[in-house]
A and B are shown apart, each in its own frame.
Chain A
Amino acid sequence: MKLHFADYLIIFIYFIFVIAVGFIVKKRIRSSNDFLNSTRTTPLWITSIAFISANLGAQEVLGMAASGAKYGIMTVHFYWVGAIFAMIFLGVFMMPFYYGSKARSVPEYLFMRFDEKTRGFNALTFAAMTVFSSGISLYALSKLLEVILNWNFDLCIWVAAGIVMLYTLLGGLTSAVYNEVLQFFLIVLGLSPLVIIALHDAGGWATVKANLQPEIAHAWKYMGTAESNPMGINFISLIFGLGFVMSFGYWCTDFLVIQRAMIAKNMSAAQRTPVIAAIPKMLMPFIVVLPGIIAIALTKVALNDGDFRIPMDAKGGLDYTMTLPSLLSYYYPSGLLGIGITALIASFMSGMAGNVTAFNSVFTYDIYQAYFVKNKSDKHYLWIGKMITFVGILLSVATAYLAASYNNINDFLQLVFSFVNGPLFATFLLGMFWKRTTGHGAFWGLFIGTLAAVITHGLTIAEGKGGWISPVYEIRSGMGQAFIIASFSWITNFFSTILISLMTRPKTDEELKGLVYSLTEKVYSTEKRWYMKVAPLSILLLIITIILNIIFF
Protein backbone atom coordinates (compact mmCIF):
# COMPACT_ATOMS: atom_id res chain seq x y z
CA MET A 1 0.00 0.00 0.00
CA LYS A 2 1.38 3.42 -0.96
CA LEU A 3 0.29 6.62 0.63
CA HIS A 4 -0.30 9.83 -1.33
CA PHE A 5 0.94 13.21 -0.12
CA ALA A 6 -2.61 14.00 1.06
CA ASP A 7 -2.60 10.91 3.31
CA TYR A 8 0.66 11.98 4.94
CA LEU A 9 -0.73 15.50 5.29
CA ILE A 10 -3.79 14.22 7.19
CA ILE A 11 -1.60 12.14 9.53
CA PHE A 12 0.65 15.17 10.06
CA ILE A 13 -2.31 17.48 10.82
CA TYR A 14 -3.56 14.97 13.36
CA PHE A 15 -0.18 14.85 15.12
CA ILE A 16 -0.07 18.65 15.24
CA PHE A 17 -3.52 18.80 16.83
CA VAL A 18 -2.92 16.19 19.54
CA ILE A 19 0.31 17.90 20.56
CA ALA A 20 -1.41 21.31 20.39
CA VAL A 21 -4.10 20.04 22.78
CA GLY A 22 -1.26 19.18 25.19
CA PHE A 23 0.06 22.75 24.96
CA ILE A 24 -3.43 24.27 25.37
CA VAL A 25 -4.04 22.24 28.54
CA LYS A 26 -0.50 22.73 29.91
CA LYS A 27 -1.25 26.15 31.43
CA ARG A 28 -4.00 24.61 33.60
CA ILE A 29 -1.56 22.21 35.29
CA ARG A 30 -0.51 23.66 38.62
CA SER A 31 -0.59 20.73 41.03
CA SER A 32 -0.14 16.97 41.11
CA ASN A 33 -3.92 16.67 41.32
CA ASP A 34 -4.34 18.70 38.10
CA PHE A 35 -1.81 16.50 36.33
CA LEU A 36 -2.79 13.08 37.65
CA ASN A 37 -6.51 13.41 38.36
CA SER A 38 -7.61 16.46 36.36
CA THR A 39 -10.21 18.39 38.39
CA ARG A 40 -13.84 17.74 39.07
CA THR A 41 -14.99 20.35 36.55
CA THR A 42 -15.12 18.41 33.29
CA PRO A 43 -18.45 18.61 31.35
CA LEU A 44 -20.59 15.50 31.08
CA TRP A 45 -20.28 15.12 27.31
CA ILE A 46 -16.48 15.08 27.60
CA THR A 47 -16.38 12.58 30.48
CA SER A 48 -18.86 10.30 28.69
CA ILE A 49 -16.96 10.26 25.40
CA ALA A 50 -13.61 9.92 27.18
CA PHE A 51 -15.09 7.03 29.20
CA ILE A 52 -15.79 5.03 26.05
CA SER A 53 -12.78 6.32 24.13
CA ALA A 54 -10.28 5.23 26.81
CA ASN A 55 -11.49 1.71 26.05
CA LEU A 56 -11.43 2.29 22.28
CA GLY A 57 -7.78 1.40 21.87
CA ALA A 58 -6.13 -0.46 19.04
CA GLN A 59 -7.09 -3.77 20.67
CA GLU A 60 -10.73 -2.74 20.54
CA VAL A 61 -10.70 -1.49 16.97
CA LEU A 62 -8.35 -4.05 15.42
CA GLY A 63 -9.20 -6.82 17.91
CA MET A 64 -12.97 -6.60 17.56
CA ALA A 65 -12.75 -6.56 13.76
CA ALA A 66 -10.46 -9.60 14.08
CA SER A 67 -12.95 -11.30 16.38
CA GLY A 68 -15.78 -10.39 14.01
CA ALA A 69 -13.97 -12.31 11.27
CA LYS A 70 -13.04 -15.19 13.60
CA TYR A 71 -16.19 -15.62 15.70
CA GLY A 72 -18.75 -13.78 13.57
CA ILE A 73 -21.84 -12.16 15.06
CA MET A 74 -21.10 -13.77 18.44
CA THR A 75 -18.54 -11.00 18.96
CA VAL A 76 -21.41 -8.61 19.72
CA HIS A 77 -21.73 -10.35 23.09
CA PHE A 78 -18.84 -8.18 24.25
CA TYR A 79 -21.20 -5.24 23.89
CA TRP A 80 -24.77 -6.43 24.23
CA VAL A 81 -24.18 -9.01 26.96
CA GLY A 82 -21.10 -7.57 28.58
CA ALA A 83 -20.43 -3.85 28.37
CA ILE A 84 -23.90 -2.28 28.42
CA PHE A 85 -25.22 -4.09 31.50
CA ALA A 86 -21.95 -3.51 33.37
CA MET A 87 -21.77 0.20 32.46
CA ILE A 88 -25.33 0.73 33.66
CA PHE A 89 -24.62 -1.15 36.90
CA LEU A 90 -21.58 1.05 37.44
CA GLY A 91 -23.57 4.25 36.91
CA VAL A 92 -26.57 3.29 39.02
CA PHE A 93 -24.98 1.41 41.92
CA MET A 94 -21.21 1.86 42.12
CA MET A 95 -20.40 5.45 41.10
CA PRO A 96 -21.95 6.87 44.30
CA PHE A 97 -19.21 5.09 46.28
CA TYR A 98 -16.33 5.95 43.98
CA TYR A 99 -17.34 9.59 43.59
CA GLY A 100 -18.89 10.12 47.01
CA SER A 101 -15.91 8.71 48.92
CA LYS A 102 -13.66 11.34 47.26
CA ALA A 103 -11.05 8.63 46.63
CA ARG A 104 -8.50 9.69 44.01
CA SER A 105 -8.34 6.20 42.54
CA VAL A 106 -9.96 2.77 42.70
CA PRO A 107 -7.09 1.36 44.83
CA GLU A 108 -7.56 4.31 47.21
CA TYR A 109 -11.23 3.37 47.57
CA LEU A 110 -10.07 -0.14 48.53
CA PHE A 111 -7.80 1.44 51.15
CA MET A 112 -10.72 3.39 52.61
CA ARG A 113 -13.08 0.43 52.53
CA PHE A 114 -10.61 -2.28 53.56
CA ASP A 115 -6.95 -1.69 54.36
CA GLU A 116 -3.49 -0.86 53.05
CA LYS A 117 -2.56 -4.34 51.86
CA THR A 118 -5.70 -4.69 49.70
CA ARG A 119 -4.94 -1.33 48.10
CA GLY A 120 -1.32 -2.39 47.51
CA PHE A 121 -2.31 -5.66 45.87
CA ASN A 122 -4.80 -3.98 43.56
CA ALA A 123 -2.43 -1.11 42.74
CA LEU A 124 0.36 -3.48 41.73
CA THR A 125 -1.80 -5.79 39.60
CA PHE A 126 -3.53 -2.81 38.00
CA ALA A 127 -0.21 -1.16 37.20
CA ALA A 128 0.97 -4.39 35.54
CA MET A 129 -2.27 -4.66 33.55
CA THR A 130 -2.15 -1.10 32.26
CA VAL A 131 1.41 -1.61 31.06
CA PHE A 132 0.31 -4.80 29.26
CA SER A 133 -2.65 -3.05 27.63
CA SER A 134 -0.58 -0.09 26.62
CA GLY A 135 2.10 -2.35 25.16
CA ILE A 136 -0.48 -4.29 23.14
CA SER A 137 -1.79 -1.05 21.67
CA LEU A 138 1.72 -0.05 20.74
CA TYR A 139 2.50 -3.44 19.20
CA ALA A 140 -0.74 -3.43 17.21
CA LEU A 141 -0.08 -0.03 15.72
CA SER A 142 3.54 -0.72 14.85
CA LYS A 143 2.80 -4.09 13.29
CA LEU A 144 0.06 -2.52 11.26
CA LEU A 145 2.23 0.28 9.95
CA GLU A 146 5.03 -2.14 9.19
CA VAL A 147 2.84 -4.56 7.25
CA ILE A 148 0.70 -2.16 5.26
CA LEU A 149 3.07 0.75 4.79
CA ASN A 150 6.46 -0.94 5.08
CA TRP A 151 7.44 1.47 7.82
CA ASN A 152 10.15 0.33 10.20
CA PHE A 153 8.60 -1.54 13.17
CA ASP A 154 11.02 -0.20 15.79
CA LEU A 155 10.80 3.34 14.48
CA CYS A 156 6.99 3.22 14.60
CA ILE A 157 7.09 2.10 18.23
CA TRP A 158 9.40 4.89 19.32
CA VAL A 159 7.78 7.71 17.31
CA ALA A 160 4.25 6.76 18.38
CA ALA A 161 5.27 6.34 22.01
CA GLY A 162 7.12 9.67 21.81
CA ILE A 163 4.03 11.60 20.66
CA VAL A 164 1.85 10.08 23.40
CA MET A 165 4.58 10.89 25.90
CA LEU A 166 4.74 14.49 24.72
CA TYR A 167 1.07 15.32 25.08
CA THR A 168 0.57 13.39 28.33
CA LEU A 169 3.64 15.01 29.88
CA LEU A 170 2.36 18.43 28.82
CA GLY A 171 -1.21 18.21 30.01
CA GLY A 172 -1.52 15.04 32.09
CA LEU A 173 -4.95 13.45 32.44
CA THR A 174 -6.83 16.47 31.04
CA SER A 175 -4.74 16.37 27.88
CA ALA A 176 -5.32 12.63 27.52
CA VAL A 177 -9.08 13.03 28.09
CA TYR A 178 -9.41 15.92 25.60
CA ASN A 179 -7.46 13.98 23.00
CA GLU A 180 -9.63 10.91 23.64
CA VAL A 181 -12.67 12.94 22.60
CA LEU A 182 -10.98 14.08 19.39
CA GLN A 183 -9.81 10.51 18.76
CA PHE A 184 -13.30 9.11 19.33
CA PHE A 185 -14.83 11.32 16.64
CA LEU A 186 -11.95 10.57 14.29
CA ILE A 187 -12.33 6.80 14.76
CA VAL A 188 -16.11 6.90 14.26
CA LEU A 189 -16.06 9.28 11.29
CA GLY A 190 -12.95 7.66 9.81
CA LEU A 191 -14.23 4.09 9.89
CA SER A 192 -17.94 4.62 9.17
CA PRO A 193 -17.38 5.08 5.41
CA LEU A 194 -15.62 1.69 5.35
CA VAL A 195 -18.69 -0.09 6.68
CA ILE A 196 -20.93 1.64 4.14
CA ILE A 197 -18.60 1.00 1.17
CA ALA A 198 -17.82 -2.65 2.08
CA LEU A 199 -21.43 -3.49 2.86
CA HIS A 200 -22.57 -1.94 -0.41
CA ASP A 201 -19.89 -3.86 -2.32
CA ALA A 202 -20.89 -7.14 -0.66
CA GLY A 203 -24.51 -6.66 -1.73
CA GLY A 204 -26.02 -5.63 1.59
CA TRP A 205 -26.46 -7.25 4.99
CA ALA A 206 -28.78 -10.03 3.80
CA THR A 207 -26.20 -11.22 1.26
CA VAL A 208 -23.38 -11.04 3.79
CA LYS A 209 -25.37 -13.08 6.31
CA ALA A 210 -26.32 -15.64 3.68
CA ASN A 211 -22.64 -16.21 2.90
CA LEU A 212 -21.54 -16.78 6.49
CA GLN A 213 -21.18 -20.22 8.00
CA PRO A 214 -24.37 -20.78 10.04
CA GLU A 215 -22.58 -21.00 13.39
CA ILE A 216 -21.09 -17.51 13.04
CA ALA A 217 -24.21 -15.92 11.57
CA HIS A 218 -26.13 -15.82 14.86
CA ALA A 219 -25.45 -14.35 18.27
CA TRP A 220 -27.26 -16.97 20.36
CA LYS A 221 -28.58 -19.76 18.16
CA TYR A 222 -25.44 -21.93 18.41
CA MET A 223 -24.56 -21.18 22.03
CA GLY A 224 -26.38 -24.26 23.35
CA THR A 225 -23.24 -26.40 23.49
CA ALA A 226 -19.53 -25.56 23.44
CA GLU A 227 -18.94 -27.81 20.41
CA SER A 228 -21.40 -26.04 18.14
CA ASN A 229 -19.75 -22.61 17.95
CA PRO A 230 -16.25 -21.31 17.17
CA MET A 231 -15.79 -19.70 20.59
CA GLY A 232 -15.97 -23.15 22.18
CA ILE A 233 -18.19 -22.16 25.10
CA ASN A 234 -21.87 -22.57 25.91
CA PHE A 235 -24.32 -19.83 26.87
CA ILE A 236 -23.82 -20.37 30.61
CA SER A 237 -20.06 -19.81 30.36
CA LEU A 238 -20.74 -16.83 28.13
CA ILE A 239 -23.27 -15.15 30.42
CA PHE A 240 -21.35 -15.89 33.62
CA GLY A 241 -17.77 -15.64 32.30
CA LEU A 242 -18.10 -12.73 29.89
CA GLY A 243 -21.41 -11.11 30.77
CA PHE A 244 -20.97 -11.12 34.52
CA VAL A 245 -17.40 -11.73 35.68
CA MET A 246 -15.24 -10.22 32.94
CA SER A 247 -17.44 -7.35 31.84
CA PHE A 248 -18.49 -6.25 35.30
CA GLY A 249 -14.89 -6.86 36.42
CA TYR A 250 -13.61 -4.53 33.73
CA TRP A 251 -16.22 -1.77 33.53
CA CYS A 252 -17.00 -1.58 37.25
CA THR A 253 -13.52 -1.87 38.75
CA ASP A 254 -10.97 -0.79 36.14
CA PHE A 255 -9.60 2.61 37.13
CA LEU A 256 -8.75 3.37 33.50
CA VAL A 257 -12.40 3.96 32.63
CA ILE A 258 -13.71 4.89 36.09
CA GLN A 259 -11.12 7.67 36.29
CA ARG A 260 -13.00 9.43 33.44
CA ALA A 261 -16.26 9.40 35.41
CA MET A 262 -14.50 10.54 38.60
CA ILE A 263 -13.54 13.88 37.00
CA ALA A 264 -17.18 14.81 36.32
CA LYS A 265 -18.63 18.03 37.80
CA ASN A 266 -20.93 16.45 40.37
CA MET A 267 -22.40 13.15 41.55
CA SER A 268 -25.27 13.24 39.05
CA ALA A 269 -22.86 13.77 36.13
CA ALA A 270 -20.53 11.05 37.46
CA GLN A 271 -23.42 8.58 37.58
CA ARG A 272 -24.64 9.54 34.12
CA THR A 273 -21.16 9.32 32.56
CA PRO A 274 -21.11 5.50 32.06
CA VAL A 275 -24.85 5.44 31.27
CA ILE A 276 -24.54 8.04 28.49
CA ALA A 277 -21.33 6.36 27.30
CA ALA A 278 -23.39 3.17 26.91
CA ILE A 279 -25.30 4.77 24.01
CA PRO A 280 -22.34 4.97 21.56
CA LYS A 281 -20.96 1.74 23.06
CA MET A 282 -24.15 -0.04 22.05
CA LEU A 283 -23.68 1.10 18.45
CA MET A 284 -19.95 0.41 18.31
CA PRO A 285 -20.33 -3.17 16.91
CA PHE A 286 -21.61 -1.60 13.69
CA ILE A 287 -18.26 0.16 13.27
CA VAL A 288 -15.72 -2.29 14.70
CA VAL A 289 -17.30 -5.78 14.53
CA LEU A 290 -19.30 -5.50 11.31
CA PRO A 291 -16.23 -4.87 9.09
CA GLY A 292 -14.76 -8.20 10.30
CA ILE A 293 -18.00 -10.04 9.51
CA ILE A 294 -18.20 -8.44 6.07
CA ALA A 295 -14.53 -9.32 5.46
CA ILE A 296 -15.01 -13.00 6.18
CA ALA A 297 -18.09 -13.06 3.93
CA LEU A 298 -16.13 -11.32 1.18
CA THR A 299 -13.58 -14.14 1.18
CA LYS A 300 -16.34 -16.43 -0.14
CA VAL A 301 -16.05 -16.95 -3.85
CA ALA A 302 -19.66 -15.98 -4.46
CA LEU A 303 -19.13 -12.46 -3.15
CA ASN A 304 -15.54 -11.83 -3.97
CA ASP A 305 -15.48 -10.48 -7.49
CA GLY A 306 -12.30 -8.57 -6.74
CA ASP A 307 -9.18 -9.82 -5.05
CA PHE A 308 -9.91 -9.07 -1.41
CA ARG A 309 -7.99 -11.35 0.95
CA ILE A 310 -7.29 -11.53 4.67
CA PRO A 311 -3.53 -12.19 4.82
CA MET A 312 -2.16 -15.50 6.10
CA ASP A 313 -0.02 -15.75 9.22
CA ALA A 314 3.24 -17.73 9.55
CA LYS A 315 1.33 -20.92 10.44
CA GLY A 316 -0.82 -20.76 7.30
CA GLY A 317 -4.02 -19.63 9.03
CA LEU A 318 -5.82 -16.35 8.55
CA ASP A 319 -4.13 -13.44 10.29
CA TYR A 320 -7.33 -12.01 11.74
CA THR A 321 -5.56 -9.01 13.25
CA MET A 322 -5.01 -7.74 9.72
CA THR A 323 -8.72 -7.85 8.82
CA LEU A 324 -9.41 -4.16 9.26
CA PRO A 325 -6.17 -2.90 7.65
CA SER A 326 -6.85 -5.20 4.68
CA LEU A 327 -10.31 -3.69 4.22
CA LEU A 328 -8.92 -0.16 4.49
CA SER A 329 -6.27 -0.93 1.94
CA TYR A 330 -8.77 -2.54 -0.43
CA TYR A 331 -11.59 -0.01 -0.29
CA TYR A 332 -10.16 3.36 0.68
CA PRO A 333 -8.73 5.61 -2.06
CA SER A 334 -5.90 8.05 -1.37
CA GLY A 335 -7.19 10.79 0.90
CA LEU A 336 -9.75 8.66 2.67
CA LEU A 337 -6.97 6.16 3.27
CA GLY A 338 -5.13 8.83 5.23
CA ILE A 339 -8.27 9.25 7.38
CA GLY A 340 -8.49 5.49 7.93
CA ILE A 341 -4.82 5.16 8.89
CA THR A 342 -5.11 8.21 11.15
CA ALA A 343 -8.19 6.68 12.80
CA LEU A 344 -6.17 3.56 13.59
CA ILE A 345 -3.29 5.65 14.92
CA ALA A 346 -5.84 7.58 17.01
CA SER A 347 -7.23 4.36 18.45
CA PHE A 348 -3.74 3.32 19.47
CA MET A 349 -3.01 6.68 21.07
CA SER A 350 -6.33 6.75 22.85
CA GLY A 351 -5.71 3.32 24.35
CA MET A 352 -2.11 3.95 25.25
CA ALA A 353 -2.62 7.40 26.78
CA GLY A 354 -5.60 6.11 28.77
CA ASN A 355 -3.51 3.33 30.26
CA VAL A 356 -0.51 5.55 30.92
CA THR A 357 -2.57 8.23 32.72
CA ALA A 358 -4.25 5.60 34.89
CA PHE A 359 -0.87 3.97 35.55
CA ASN A 360 0.85 7.21 36.60
CA SER A 361 -1.98 8.14 38.95
CA VAL A 362 -2.09 4.74 40.66
CA PHE A 363 1.68 4.43 40.85
CA THR A 364 2.18 7.93 42.27
CA TYR A 365 -0.62 7.92 44.83
CA ASP A 366 -1.13 4.25 45.66
CA ILE A 367 2.40 2.91 45.47
CA TYR A 368 4.95 5.73 45.71
CA GLN A 369 3.10 8.00 48.16
CA ALA A 370 1.51 5.13 50.09
CA TYR A 371 4.63 3.04 50.62
CA PHE A 372 7.78 5.02 49.88
CA VAL A 373 7.64 8.81 50.34
CA LYS A 374 4.61 9.97 52.32
CA ASN A 375 4.99 13.60 53.34
CA LYS A 376 6.62 15.55 50.55
CA SER A 377 5.42 18.74 48.88
CA ASP A 378 2.85 18.66 46.10
CA LYS A 379 5.56 19.85 43.72
CA HIS A 380 7.49 16.66 44.46
CA TYR A 381 4.50 14.42 43.59
CA LEU A 382 3.88 16.41 40.41
CA TRP A 383 7.48 15.76 39.37
CA ILE A 384 7.19 12.07 40.29
CA GLY A 385 3.94 11.83 38.31
CA LYS A 386 5.74 13.13 35.23
CA MET A 387 8.68 10.77 35.76
CA ILE A 388 6.30 7.82 36.16
CA THR A 389 4.60 8.81 32.90
CA PHE A 390 7.97 8.57 31.21
CA VAL A 391 8.76 5.20 32.85
CA GLY A 392 5.28 3.85 32.03
CA ILE A 393 5.77 4.57 28.36
CA LEU A 394 9.18 2.85 28.36
CA LEU A 395 7.62 -0.22 30.02
CA SER A 396 4.88 -0.20 27.39
CA VAL A 397 7.51 -0.26 24.67
CA ALA A 398 9.07 -3.33 26.31
CA THR A 399 5.68 -5.04 26.62
CA ALA A 400 4.89 -4.40 22.96
CA TYR A 401 7.47 -6.99 21.93
CA LEU A 402 5.92 -9.59 24.25
CA ALA A 403 2.57 -9.29 22.51
CA ALA A 404 4.10 -10.31 19.19
CA SER A 405 3.66 -14.05 19.84
CA TYR A 406 -0.17 -14.01 19.69
CA ASN A 407 -2.14 -14.17 16.42
CA ASN A 408 -5.19 -12.50 17.93
CA ILE A 409 -4.28 -9.65 20.22
CA ASN A 410 -7.76 -9.53 21.67
CA ASP A 411 -7.36 -13.06 23.07
CA PHE A 412 -4.12 -11.96 24.68
CA LEU A 413 -5.75 -8.96 26.30
CA GLN A 414 -8.72 -10.97 27.52
CA LEU A 415 -6.24 -13.36 29.15
CA VAL A 416 -4.58 -10.51 31.03
CA PHE A 417 -7.98 -9.13 32.06
CA SER A 418 -9.15 -12.54 33.25
CA PHE A 419 -6.14 -12.76 35.59
CA VAL A 420 -6.64 -9.31 37.10
CA ASN A 421 -10.26 -8.22 36.68
CA GLY A 422 -11.93 -11.62 37.05
CA PRO A 423 -11.39 -12.00 40.78
CA LEU A 424 -11.49 -8.26 41.50
CA PHE A 425 -15.20 -7.79 40.86
CA ALA A 426 -16.05 -10.25 43.66
CA THR A 427 -14.05 -8.10 46.09
CA PHE A 428 -15.93 -4.93 45.08
CA LEU A 429 -19.33 -6.60 45.03
CA LEU A 430 -18.87 -7.93 48.55
CA GLY A 431 -17.11 -4.78 49.75
CA MET A 432 -19.83 -2.41 48.55
CA PHE A 433 -22.90 -4.49 49.35
CA TRP A 434 -21.95 -6.63 52.38
CA LYS A 435 -20.67 -4.60 55.30
CA ARG A 436 -19.35 -7.72 57.07
CA THR A 437 -16.54 -8.05 54.47
CA THR A 438 -13.18 -7.47 56.16
CA GLY A 439 -9.78 -6.25 54.97
CA HIS A 440 -8.23 -9.67 55.58
CA GLY A 441 -11.08 -11.34 53.67
CA ALA A 442 -10.70 -8.95 50.74
CA PHE A 443 -6.93 -9.29 50.52
CA TRP A 444 -6.69 -13.05 50.83
CA GLY A 445 -9.76 -13.53 48.65
CA LEU A 446 -8.10 -11.46 45.93
CA PHE A 447 -4.84 -13.32 46.35
CA ILE A 448 -6.46 -16.76 46.23
CA GLY A 449 -8.70 -15.71 43.32
CA THR A 450 -5.75 -14.50 41.28
CA LEU A 451 -3.89 -17.72 42.13
CA ALA A 452 -6.93 -19.68 40.92
CA ALA A 453 -6.75 -17.76 37.62
CA VAL A 454 -3.10 -18.71 37.18
CA ILE A 455 -3.74 -22.38 38.03
CA THR A 456 -6.76 -22.56 35.70
CA HIS A 457 -4.59 -21.20 32.90
CA GLY A 458 -2.02 -23.88 33.70
CA LEU A 459 -4.64 -26.65 33.55
CA THR A 460 -6.47 -25.56 30.38
CA ILE A 461 -5.16 -25.27 26.86
CA ALA A 462 -6.56 -23.29 23.92
CA GLU A 463 -4.96 -22.72 20.53
CA GLY A 464 -1.68 -24.07 21.94
CA LYS A 465 -1.65 -21.62 24.85
CA GLY A 466 -1.88 -22.43 28.56
CA GLY A 467 -1.68 -25.96 29.95
CA TRP A 468 1.77 -25.35 31.40
CA ILE A 469 0.93 -27.38 34.56
CA SER A 470 -0.91 -30.12 32.69
CA PRO A 471 -3.29 -29.71 29.73
CA VAL A 472 -6.22 -31.34 31.52
CA TYR A 473 -8.98 -29.57 29.57
CA GLU A 474 -8.90 -28.31 26.02
CA ILE A 475 -10.93 -25.26 24.97
CA ARG A 476 -11.54 -24.35 21.35
CA SER A 477 -10.59 -20.68 21.53
CA GLY A 478 -8.35 -18.41 23.58
CA MET A 479 -11.38 -16.21 24.16
CA GLY A 480 -13.34 -19.11 25.70
CA GLN A 481 -10.34 -19.97 27.86
CA ALA A 482 -10.26 -16.41 29.21
CA PHE A 483 -13.96 -16.61 30.15
CA ILE A 484 -13.44 -19.87 32.03
CA ILE A 485 -10.35 -18.57 33.86
CA ALA A 486 -12.27 -15.45 34.90
CA SER A 487 -15.23 -17.52 36.12
CA PHE A 488 -13.11 -19.84 38.29
CA SER A 489 -11.12 -16.99 39.77
CA TRP A 490 -14.29 -15.03 40.57
CA ILE A 491 -15.99 -17.97 42.28
CA THR A 492 -12.81 -18.76 44.27
CA ASN A 493 -12.43 -15.15 45.36
CA PHE A 494 -16.11 -14.76 46.23
CA PHE A 495 -16.30 -17.74 48.57
CA SER A 496 -12.84 -17.39 50.11
CA THR A 497 -13.54 -13.71 50.88
CA ILE A 498 -16.81 -14.64 52.62
CA LEU A 499 -15.15 -17.44 54.58
CA ILE A 500 -12.16 -15.37 55.76
CA SER A 501 -14.37 -12.34 56.51
CA LEU A 502 -16.56 -14.43 58.80
CA MET A 503 -13.44 -15.46 60.73
CA THR A 504 -12.01 -11.93 61.08
CA ARG A 505 -13.19 -8.66 62.65
CA PRO A 506 -15.01 -6.14 60.43
CA LYS A 507 -14.78 -2.33 60.57
CA THR A 508 -17.40 -0.48 62.59
CA ASP A 509 -20.50 1.02 60.95
CA GLU A 510 -19.10 4.48 61.62
CA GLU A 511 -15.95 3.70 59.66
CA LEU A 512 -17.95 2.35 56.72
CA LYS A 513 -20.33 5.28 56.20
CA GLY A 514 -20.33 6.35 52.56
CA LEU A 515 -18.40 3.25 51.54
CA VAL A 516 -21.04 0.50 51.84
CA TYR A 517 -24.52 0.45 50.29
CA SER A 518 -26.48 -0.17 53.50
CA LEU A 519 -24.63 2.60 55.37
CA THR A 520 -24.78 5.27 52.68
CA GLU A 521 -27.50 7.87 52.47
CA LYS A 522 -29.38 7.53 49.20
CA VAL A 523 -29.33 10.58 46.96
CA TYR A 524 -32.41 11.01 44.79
CA SER A 525 -32.31 13.08 41.63
CA THR A 526 -34.23 16.35 41.67
CA GLU A 527 -34.04 16.53 37.88
CA LYS A 528 -37.48 16.73 36.28
CA ARG A 529 -36.57 15.68 32.74
CA TRP A 530 -36.63 11.84 32.53
CA TYR A 531 -33.66 11.64 30.14
CA MET A 532 -31.49 13.47 32.67
CA LYS A 533 -32.21 10.86 35.34
CA VAL A 534 -30.03 7.77 35.66
CA ALA A 535 -32.76 5.18 36.28
CA PRO A 536 -35.19 5.86 33.37
CA LEU A 537 -32.30 6.29 30.95
CA SER A 538 -30.78 3.01 32.12
CA ILE A 539 -34.06 1.11 31.74
CA LEU A 540 -34.48 2.44 28.20
CA LEU A 541 -30.95 1.36 27.27
CA LEU A 542 -31.48 -2.12 28.74
CA ILE A 543 -34.67 -2.54 26.69
CA ILE A 544 -32.88 -1.50 23.47
CA THR A 545 -30.00 -3.89 24.28
CA ILE A 546 -32.42 -6.80 24.73
CA ILE A 547 -34.12 -5.91 21.43
CA LEU A 548 -30.72 -5.91 19.65
CA ASN A 549 -30.00 -9.38 21.08
CA ILE A 550 -33.34 -10.62 19.77
CA ILE A 551 -32.78 -9.12 16.29
CA PHE A 552 -29.39 -10.83 15.92
CA PHE A 553 -30.40 -14.02 17.81
Chain B
Amino acid sequence: MSRDRHRGATLALIASWLVVGIPAAWGVVQVVAKSLALFR
Protein backbone atom coordinates (compact mmCIF):
# COMPACT_ATOMS: atom_id res chain seq x y z
CA MET B 1 0.00 0.00 0.00
CA SER B 2 2.71 2.43 1.07
CA ARG B 3 4.90 1.43 -1.88
CA ASP B 4 1.98 2.02 -4.29
CA ARG B 5 1.41 5.47 -2.80
CA HIS B 6 5.11 6.30 -3.10
CA ARG B 7 5.13 5.18 -6.74
CA GLY B 8 2.00 7.23 -7.45
CA ALA B 9 3.58 10.31 -5.88
CA THR B 10 6.72 9.85 -7.97
CA LEU B 11 4.68 9.51 -11.17
CA ALA B 12 2.68 12.64 -10.26
CA LEU B 13 5.95 14.49 -9.70
CA ILE B 14 7.34 13.45 -13.10
CA ALA B 15 4.05 14.20 -14.86
CA SER B 16 3.87 17.67 -13.29
CA TRP B 17 7.35 18.57 -14.50
CA LEU B 18 6.59 17.22 -17.98
CA VAL B 19 3.45 19.37 -18.25
CA VAL B 20 5.50 22.55 -17.79
CA GLY B 21 8.78 21.22 -19.20
CA ILE B 22 7.54 20.24 -22.67
CA PRO B 23 6.17 23.70 -23.64
CA ALA B 24 9.29 25.32 -22.16
CA ALA B 25 11.57 23.02 -24.17
CA TRP B 26 9.55 23.75 -27.33
CA GLY B 27 9.97 27.49 -26.71
CA VAL B 28 13.73 27.15 -26.14
CA VAL B 29 14.14 25.12 -29.34
CA GLN B 30 12.24 27.79 -31.31
CA VAL B 31 14.47 30.55 -29.92
CA VAL B 32 17.72 28.67 -30.45
CA ALA B 33 16.72 27.83 -34.05
CA LYS B 34 15.98 31.52 -34.68
CA SER B 35 19.21 32.63 -33.02
CA LEU B 36 21.33 30.58 -35.41
CA ALA B 37 20.75 33.26 -38.07
CA LEU B 38 22.86 35.61 -35.96
CA PHE B 39 25.97 33.45 -36.36
CA ARG B 40 25.66 32.66 -40.08
State whether these chains interact: no
- Interface residues of A, Cβ cutoff 8 Å to B: none
